[in-house]
Amino acid sequence: MLTGEIAKPWVGERDVYARVAYFLTYLVAFLGIAGSVLRCYFAWKDVPRVGNLCLIMEDNFDTFDTAYTWTHEVDMSGFGNGEFEMATGSSNNSFVEDGKLYIVPTLTSDVIGSAAVFDGYTYNITGCTNANVSACGAVSNKTAGTVIPPVMSARITTKNSHSIQYGKIEIVARVPEGDWLWPALWMLPVDDAYGAWPASGEIDIMESRGNSPEYKAQGLDVVRGSLNWGPFTWLNGVAKTYGWWSQRRSTYHSGFHTYALEWTDRFLRIYVDSRLHHMLDVSFDEPFFARGDFPPFVANGSTTIATPNPWANASNAAPFDRPFYLIMNVAVGGTNGWFPDGVGDKPWIDASDTAMLDFAKAQAQWYATWPADPKERALVVDSVKMWQKC
């Protein structure tokens, strides 16, 4: 049994330094939290907004409205990229089912036979929309090394129905899987006010490659947004206005994502799912000609001329200060460098005169990577919304 006085340290004099340390700890924590909140608030406040918007088009694909909303471009020209597909108006290549639009690449050999693709066959595409007759047909000739485009696909636009000059677009879509597939959601100007492409601009809301994530030039786990602009086709400032976003644990084929454009006379932003996932955020704080840092002089045939400025008397936003319309398509291959030479067992060389022939000969190789189910190798679009700035 204990005897004597029991110690009671809690009734003694308090340790002042301990109390100061206690309150100081909580004060620092509070200031840290308050500072973070203020920083987030002002960062959010400083993000430029589009402003008031008026919905001008919404398509949830209950039907495929080709009478008014969508127009097929039917063409075998390669669309300036040396693409290996022809764009058709066939329901094999674009159709609506269960509230979704499918843009599907298929084999030309399934329609005309393998032998006809390579030799002795003339193919004229039905319903060609290109005024240039040479873009409406092709001849396969083994001696000349020419082939019928080995893939059929589709390309649809709102050129005849809806366009915006500043506003917003949201497209909910899933990209296709398969080597050398090139899905794109993009925009072109209604008119060439500043000259032929790319002087009047191009807005790429989303482009990707169907190759696997192991592909070294960005495969299915990456989507890209960009702007094309410049005085000549070979003097394009796209390298200064592009960006991408990647999926760390999955691919953009594994689910639907929202691809968005926000656009005013002050800025243009392209993102996937959230503004935090912006692929491109361009402020129109300087003229595009100055941004391009183009050489002062260029060769024009046998003479040298001063590099022309297509936007000399326009706003800082030019060429992106005119109405643009929407395009959705799936291309295949091409010779413009989108699929770099020597990467991923690429079966053709861009500069080769027989690039399409070499691609067609490798059909067994690349077609094996395309899902058997056409819906899995399709660009699948769940909805499209377009707003004009009010």
For the stretch 257-315, pLDDT in tens is: 999 999 999 999 999 999 999 999 999 999 999 999 999 999 878 899 999 999 999 99
Strand 85-87 relative to strand 151-153: parallel, antiparallel, unpaired? parallel
pLDDT of 77: 97
Catalytic pick from 202, 214, 286, 376? 202
179 and 259 housed in the same domain:
yes
State which residues form the domain around 33: 18-47
Q: Collapse the DSSP code of 200 into the 3-class scheme (helix H, G, I; strand E, B; otherwise coil) and give the result.
A: coil
194 and 292 housed in the same domain:
yes
d(CA 66, CA 72): 8
Number of domains observed in the structure of the chain: 2
250 and 220 housed in the same domain:
yes
- Name the percent of the chain in helix, strand, coil, to the closest 5: 20, 30, 50
Q: Which residue reads 């989507």 in tokens?
A: 223
269 and 242 housed in the same domain:
yes
278 phi, psi to nearest 5 deg: -80, 130
Residues of the chain with pLDDT under 70: 1-19, 22-23, 34-47, 49
Which pTM was predicted? 0.89
2 located within any domain? no
207 given a catalytic annotation: yes
Spell out the alpha helix ranges (H) of the chain. 16-46, 109-112, 114-118, 288-292, 355-361, 363-367
Amino acid code (one letter) for 167:
G
CB distance 61 to 383 below 8 Å: yes
CB distance 386 to 57 below 8 Å: yes
32 and 114 housed in the same domain:
no
63 and 79 housed in the same domain:
yes
Structure tokens of 285? 């704080």
Residue 380: which CATH number?
A: 2.60.120.200
Catalytic pick from 58, 207, 262, 376? 207
175 located within any domain? yes
pLDDT of 8: 62
8 located within any domain? no
d(CA 157, CA 327): 4
For the stretch 207-238, pLDDT in tens is: 999 999 999 999 999 999 999 999 999 999 99
**Max Cα distance, the chain (Å):** 117
Enumerate the β-bridge partners of residue 57.
Answer: 386
Q: Which residue reads 């893939």 in tokens?
A: 151
119 and 218 housed in the same domain:
yes
